[in-house]
Chain A
Amino acid sequence: MNRRVTVAYLIGLGLLLIAPTFLYPILVMKVLCFALFACAFNLLLGYTGLLSFGHAVFLGSAAYVTGHALKVWELPTLLGLLAGTGAATLLGWAIGSLAIRRQGIYFAMVTLALAQMVFFFFLQAPFTGGEDGLQGVPRGTLFGLDLAEDINLYYLVVAIFAGSFWLIQRAIHSPFGQILKAIRENEPRAISLGYDVAKYKLLAFVLSAGLAGLAGATKTLVFKFATLSDAHWHTSGEVVLMTLLGGMGTVFGPVVGATVIVTLQNELADKVGSLVTVIMGAIFVICVLAFRRGIVGESLALYKRMIGQKL
Chain B
Amino acid sequence: MTEIFGVPIQALFGQLMLGLVNGSFYAVLSLGLAVIFGMLNIINFAHGALYMAGAMLTWVGLEYLGIGYWWMLLLGPICVGLIGIAIERLMLQWLYKLDHLYGLLLTFGLALMIEGLFRDLYGVAGQPYSIPEELSGAFNLGFMFLPKYRAWVIVASLTVCLFTWYVIEKTRLGAYLRAATENPKLTQAFGINVPLMVMLTYGFGVALAGFAGVLAAPATQISPLMGSNLIIVVFAVVVIGGMGSILGSVLTGLGLGIIEGMIKVFWPEASATVVFMIMAVVLMFRPAGLFGREK
Residue ranges of A at the interface with B (Cβ–Cβ < 8 Å): 51, 98-99, 101-102, 104-106, 108-110, 112-114, 116-117, 120-121, 124, 233, 237, 240, 244, 274-278, 280-285, 287-289, 292
A212 to B108 alpha-carbon distance, docked (Å)? 22
A117-B273, A284-B112, A292-B102 known; A98+B239 contact, CB < 8 A = no
A98-B284, A117-B273 known; A51+B235 contact, CB < 8 A = no
Which chain B residues lie closer than 8 Å to A105 at the CB level?
Answer: 37, 41-43, 100-101, 104
A sample of 13 more A-B contacts (CB under 8 A), given A105-B101, A113-B276, is: A51-B105, A105-B37, A110-B239, A120-B273, A121-B273, A278-B117, A281-B116, A282-B113, A284-B108, A285-B109, A287-B109, A288-B102, A292-B98
Task: Say how far A93's CB is from chain B's closest CB, in angstroms.
Answer: 14
Work out how many contacts link A and B, with CB atoms closer than 8 A. 114
Which chain B residues lie closer than 8 Å to A104 at the CB level?
Answer: 100-101
Task: Say how far B294's CB is from chain A's closest CB, in angstroms.
Answer: 10
Q: List 25 A-B contacts (CB under 8 A).
A: A98-B280, A102-B287, A105-B42, A105-B43, A114-B279, A114-B280, A121-B273, A124-B269, A274-B119, A274-B120, A277-B113, A277-B116, A278-B120, A280-B109, A280-B112, A281-B111, A281-B112, A281-B113, A281-B114, A281-B115, A283-B109, A284-B106, A284-B112, A285-B113, A289-B91
Quick check: A281 and B43 within 8 Å, CB to CB? no
Residue ranges of B at the interface with A (Cβ–Cβ < 8 Å): 37, 41-43, 91, 94-95, 98, 100-102, 104-106, 108-117, 119-120, 232, 235-236, 238-239, 269, 272-273, 275-277, 279-280, 283-284, 287
A195 to B264 alpha-carbon distance, docked (Å)? 45
Which chain B residues lie closer than 8 Å to A124 at the CB level?
Answer: 269
Which label, helix, strand, loop or mixed, suits the secondary structure of the B interface? helix
Task: Say how far B15's CB is from chain A's closest CB, in angstroms.
Answer: 21
A282 to B108 alpha-carbon distance, docked (Å)? 10
Quick check: B283 and A101 within 8 Å, CB to CB? yes
Q: Which of A114, A278, A288 is in CB contact (< 8 Å) with B105?
A: A288
Quick check: A244 and B105 within 8 Å, CB to CB? yes
Quick check: A116 and B116 within 8 Å, CB to CB? no
A280-B112, A281-B110 known; A289+B273 contact, CB < 8 A = no
Q: Which of A98, A240, A278 is in CB contact (< 8 Å) with B283?
A: A98
Query: Of all chain B residues, which has the CB nearest A113?
Result: B236
Q: Which of B101, B115, B269, B272 is in CB contact (< 8 Å) with A108?
A: B101
A106 to B43 alpha-carbon distance, docked (Å)? 9
Which chain A residues lie closer than 8 Å to B119 at the CB level?
Answer: 274, 277
Q: Which of A51, A121, A288 is in CB contact (< 8 Å) with B109?
A: A288
